[in-house]
Amino acid sequence: MDELIGLSACEAVEKLRLGEVSSLELIDAAEARIAKTDGTLNALPTLCLERAREHAKRIMAKAPSDAAPHYLHGLPIAVKDLVEVESVRTTHGSPIFAENISAFSDYLVQRLEANGAVVLAKSNTPELGAGSQTFNEVFGQTQNPWNGTLTPGGSSGGSAAALTAGQVWLATGSDLGGSLRNPASFCSVIGLRPSPGRIAHGPANLPFADMAVQGPMARNVADTALMLDAMVGQHADDPQSLPVPASPYADIKAVVPKRVAFSPDLGGIVPVTAEVRSAIARAAEAFANLGAEVVEACPDLSQARDTFHVLRALGFASGHGALLDNHRDLLKEEVVWNIEAGRALTSREISRAQLARSQIFHNATEFFADHDLLLCPAAVTPPFDSSIRWLEEVEGICLETYIDWLLICSAITLTSCPAISVPCAFSTDGRPIGAQMVAPPRREDQLIAAALAFEDAHNFAAMVPMDPR
């Protein structure tokens, strides 16, 4: 069992393809690992083991002889509890949906299952994915495997913790303001935020909204690329979805970028702790040692905070307003605040934010004409005490709202550029720190190549899976 848990996703899929291990054996191994570790972590509160076994048997009975390179051959995965999985409890981390059994599967889940993934469990998330600290009134708090007193981040904290502890080989996450990147940084795994449209999802009540995306999480970059291959593709009912790329992401090899820009704080838009600044400087030095030209620079993101606040609030008011009208007493205070902030917006504020985001996008494309990669923190601090709802202060600077400390990620969201969090260091007291790498729009291939080059020069991926501490 321990040998199976220790396999990378790529190794496990290859053994599945060759018939050296069965999907049912991997399900058994994952079940045992979850039973051993989740009592302290609370990463995967909803299991669907019988559904997984039935699906595994169907895959084993009809294994394709001409499977695509991204076919997962029955590999068990976890799906974030914001995403519908047919016949499985999907709570969105909210008491409003505590007893909800999904009548359908999200397009993302349909694609993953068609590509040979077996959904084993739902991973914990904060209510409606709001906030980068994974707790809710349905399942409680998820803990960080590196230190059980710390948060795993969020909102994909359950997925990140499950991967770190070896409960699954791959997991889905989603990201609006950093919900893939922040928990990956806090748990020392990989979280990739793809370009809008790269991964189809829905059915959605706001199909043209493009700031929130789904993405892959894994223990190393190659596994993340494999997962991305299994997720991408066009869907007729997602108007922004993009076709499957001509070449699989899993085929990408490590390439050192020619010119890397690094910034410890994206031009001073958010405070960053000294240890994180030092870690990012060392990551930049590592790229220089690999042969890259490294300069300290970043695109102009000075309008990012106000722009993101407005557009996020607008999305909350549009997407969740009915919940406030009908279930106000069941919503946490941060969600109530975000919806009400959206309802209070004026047309002038919305127009100004839309124009500002357009300028931010153009600033980014102009920047990437001269740089191949942007390197910055994936979180402004190492993971903090799990009893804290959100950071109100960093480096002596007070933060007004529950999303301000996430600006290091949410500013990048506004650019529509793909971004990945890759482990790069540990603090002096053993807390993980991740580097955020950003590539030009729709250049996930370039992003993965650079992340592979960085990972190859470090040993962080070999440190997981691990027993929770």
| Distance separating alpha carbons of residues 51 and 137, to the nearest angstrom | 26
Counted residue by residue, the chain has a size of 469
The number of CA neighbours under 13 Å toward the Cβ of 247 is 9
Is the backbone of residue 145 left (phi > 0), alpha (psi -120 to 50) or beta? alpha
Looking at residue 223, its amino acid is: D
Q: Are 388 and 151 in contact (CB under 8 A)?
A: yes
Candidates 155, 156, 159, 421; catalytic one:
155
| Distance separating alpha carbons of residues 111 and 231, to the nearest angstrom | 6
Candidates 105, 174, 179, 195; catalytic one:
179
Cα 198 to its chain centre, rounded Å, is 14
Pairing between β-strand 170-175 and β-strand 190-193 as defined by DSSP bridges: unpaired
Of 375, 378, 408, 409, nearest to 261 by C-alpha is: 375
Candidates 8, 15, 23, 80; catalytic one:
80
The question of whether 155 is a catalytic residue gets the answer yes
Strand order in the sheet with 213-218: 46-47, 117-123, 75-80, 170-175, 213-218, 190-193, 419-426, 432-438, 373-377, 259-262, 293-296
Q: Each residue of 132-147: b (16+ CB within 10 Å) or e?
A: bbbbbebbebbbbbbb
| Distance separating alpha carbons of residues 293 and 163, to the nearest angstrom | 34
What residues are annotated to the active site?
80, 155, 179
